[in-house]
Amino acid sequence: MQLVDDWLDRKLQSYRLLDHPATVTHEWKRMTGRVLRAGLTLSARPAEAFSFTSAVEWPVPEVSRYEQMVVDGVLDALIAPAGWAEPVLGAAFVLEEIQWDAEGSVALAFYMAAREAAQIIIEGKIGRRASV
């Protein structure tokens, strides 16, 4: 457990604020015997601490499960970013929209779409609005 505590301490000490507002529309899709897919629009702005708000009405009764997967995807991208990027905790995220497919939209697909969208935002590879 000490290794995990040390890792978390290092990550929290080196966190930074998001330095630009951004909005990303992103779709994740994989073929696994059936097509799994999720699309979303995620916006972020610099803030003193992490926050997440959902402005979405989910078409399923398991709303909390789907939203938790989106939050998990965003946090995974922020705390353990790909490459050499420093972790970001100072950002306010808003889930603006979802693109739903009755056959292929599963919670895992929304996790992956959110993680990839958040990575695009923190890497700063976009301007004020991007569609990927």
8-12, 42-46, 93-97, 121-125: the lowest-pLDDT one: 8-12
Higher pLDDT residue, 24 or 12?
Answer: 24
Indicate if the pLDDT at residue 69 is higher than 60. Answer: yes
Q: What is the mean pLDDT of residues 25-35?
A: 92
pTM above 0.85, yes or no: no
- Per residue in 81-100, pLDDT (tens digit) is 776 667 787 899 999 999 99
CA pair distance 26, 23, nearest whole angstrom? 10
pLDDT of residue 72: 97
| Chain centre to alpha carbon of residue 99 | 15
If one looks up domain 2-131 in CATH, what number appears?
Answer: 3.30.230.10
Take residue 86 and report the two structure tokens written for it: 């420093």
CA pair distance 16, 86, nearest whole angstrom? 7
CA pair distance 96, 124, nearest whole angstrom? 19
